[in-house]
Structure 1
Amino acid sequence: MSTAYGNFFDFCRDTGSLHATLPVCNLFASSPSRGGSGFGNGCDLLGISLGGDRYLANLGSILCAGLAILISAFLLLRSNMKRAAVGRREMQLFLLGYMLISLCEIFTIGWFPLDGEVRRAFTAIHIAAIVATLWILLMNAVVGYQIIDDGTIASIGLIFGSAAALFVGTGYIALDTGFAFTDYWQDTVNDPNNRAYALYTLYQLVPLVFLVAFFVLEAILVLRVLGEVRPMLYLCAAALLFIISQIFQYVISVHICNGSNGAINGGFFSTLFTLLAVIMIWVFWSSITEDDWPMPASTGSTYT
């Protein structure tokens, strides 16, 4: 099999041959959610047997995703208390998006026992939510430059509207791939390499571009505009934690699975470190929206 651009087979095999912890894998013909027998001879993530052929394969990710929802709700409420903070509503939109991602994780990479069609529907929502939420995160960085006054109908409307467009577009491609509303994506589904250029671009490349752009814009804001260093520690910590989460997902996962005889893989650690990265993003945002930063306020802005 090939790991060339667009191919998912090796990724799916290495994140759980039968119960893959890469959500996009649920859309391909090899996935049990479509009646397939798994992705080659990789390590099978089995987790806890529920009797018969049913398994609660990834209990760790389920619990961690549930914790992520609770923590995100707490941060959302804390954000609401920071009434003078720049981008308060925009940050809350990001947290709501992350809560939706975490909810979907329970049913996609958590392998909560579900009918295959229901799992594919959650998978499509999951992928769409990732793209839309990371776009909202990028827009949070743009809001910091006060091009448009934060918290206004214009700001929230533009961010929510563009994120909704990305959500609908990405979700449609994922749904059509999983349910074959048309025959346009069926060559993708049945390709032995699970080659899916559109999904690969939307799921692997576009979020990475959004994240890098977010980091660069925030770094410029902190170092050049605010003239501070301390917030960069939080931003770099968030970036490092996210990188660690991806290493667990794509590199270490198969080795953890083999070492634990299929009891666990890198999916749990990926979910955990992603949660920690989100927390650090919130801490970073909170640190640059304190009232004592020496930045002049624009009309209608929440800078003080």
Structure 2
Amino acid sequence: MQFFLMGYIIIEICEIFTIGGFPLNGAVRRAFSAVHIAAIIATLWILMMNGAVGYQLVDDGTPLSIGLIFGSAAVLFIGTGYIALDTGFSWTTYWDSALDAPNRTYSLYILYQLVPLVFLVVFFILETVLVLRVLGEVKPMGYLIGAALLFAIGQIFQYVISVHICSRTNGAINGGMFETLFTLFSVVCIWQFWSSITEDDWPMAAPGGSTYT
């Protein structure tokens, strides 16, 4: 889960320079945008893999588990980053069609919008089954549902309400600020959820007996 938090921090730093209105040279902004998209893919992949680790297919915290998660995330980060950079800087001209009107970059749309959504949905399904069917608990679901709702509210601000906020404030602010805030709250809920289902928080067997304290 620490890898997930590190990825989230990288995403937020990149957002300052990509959607935060920070004055930058065009080439620098394209580079930050590429890192931003790559970080989103890698971070949500890590989140999904953390959901799978809960089933103990591979022991959590072992070098094998960490290596698989970090290694696969690194591959996705590099691959996505390359596609985004090649699109923005036209290194191979393979993606040059996206630079012409109406500038529809289907590859980046899939990577930026659809793939992260799939990772999120799979994570929530995995964790719901784990908590309700495997652990037989209900309380952690409050954190998980809260995280999903807060994230959804943030996306509504970003894609639905933002245009109205922007027009009413003459472009001074938009929904991105609220999206960032609600996403932060969602990440906090995810962290609380994860803490509530880790072994350290479960009752431990008393020494010399079979009861739990």
- 1:227-246 CA-to-partner distances (Å, cap 9, x unmatched) read 11110010000000000111
1:234 aligned partner, one-letter code? Y
Q: Kindly tell me: are residues 239 and 172 of structure 1, through their superposed partners in 2, closer, same or farther at Cα, counting changes over 3 Å?
A: same
Q: What is the CA-CA distance between 1:294 and the residue it aligns to?
A: 6.9
Q: TM-score scaled to structure 1, two decimals?
A: 0.66
Q: Counterpart of 2:20 in 1: which secondary structure? A: coil
- 1:69-126 CA-to-partner distances (Å, cap 9, x unmatched) read xxxxxxxxxxxxxxxxxxxxxx001001101101111111112111111111010000
2:81 is matched with: 171
2:166 corresponds to 1:257 = yes
Within a 5 Å distance, the mapping from 1:80-99 to structure 2 comes to 91-99=1-9
Q: What is the CA-CA distance between 1:186 and the residue it aligns to?
A: 1.1
Within a 5 Å distance, the mapping from 1:154-169 to structure 2 comes to 154-169=64-79
CA contact 1:226–1:295 (8 Å) conserved in 2: no
Q: Kindly tell me: are residues 295 and 123 of structure 1, through their superposed partners in 2, closer, same or farther at Cα, counting changes over 3 Å?
A: farther
Q: Take 1:234 and 1:226, find their aligned partners in 2: how far apart are those partners?
A: 15
1:176 aligned partner, one-letter code? D
CA contact 1:244–1:273 (8 Å) conserved in 2: yes
1:116 is matched with: 26
2:164 aligned partner, one-letter code? H
Aligned residues: 205
Unaligned runs of 5+ in 2: 206-213
Where relative contact order (Cα < 8 A, 6+ residues apart) is larger, the structure is 1
Q: Take 2:113 and 2:137, find their aligned partners in 1: how far apart are those partners?
A: 32
Q: Kindly tell me: are residues 292 and 200 of structure 1, through their superposed partners in 2, closer, same or farther at Cα, counting changes over 3 Å?
A: closer
2:141 corresponds to 1:232 = yes
2:194 corresponds to 1:285 = yes
Indicate which of 130, 153, 177 corresponds to 2:40. 130
Q: Counterpart of 2:127 in 1: which secondary structure? A: helix
CA contact 1:248–1:270 (8 Å) conserved in 2: yes
CA contact 2:154–2:182 (8 Å) conserved in 1: yes
1:124 aligned partner, one-letter code? A
Relative to total residues, which structure has the larger helix share, 1 or 2? 2
- 1:142-175 CA-to-partner distances (Å, cap 9, x unmatched) read 1111111111110010011110110011001100
1:262 aligned partner, one-letter code? G
Q: Kindly tell me: are residues 292 and 95 of structure 1, through their superposed partners in 2, closer, same or farther at Cα, counting changes over 3 Å?
A: closer
Runs of 4+ in 1 over 4 A off after TM superposition: none
2:128 aligned partner, one-letter code? A
CA contact 1:226–1:294 (8 Å) conserved in 2: no
Q: Take 2:53 and 2:204, find their aligned partners in 1: how far apart are those partners?
A: 14
Q: What is the CA-CA distance between 1:292 and the residue it aligns to?
A: 5.2
Q: What is the CA-CA distance between 1:276 and the residue it aligns to?
A: 0.6
CA contact 1:104–1:122 (8 Å) conserved in 2: yes
1:177 aligned partner, one-letter code? T
2:16 is matched with: 106
Q: Counterpart of 2:200 in 1: which secondary structure? A: coil
Q: Take 2:126 and 2:145, find their aligned partners in 1: how far apart are those partners?
A: 13
Unaligned runs of 5+ in 1: 1-90, 297-304
2:210 is matched with: none
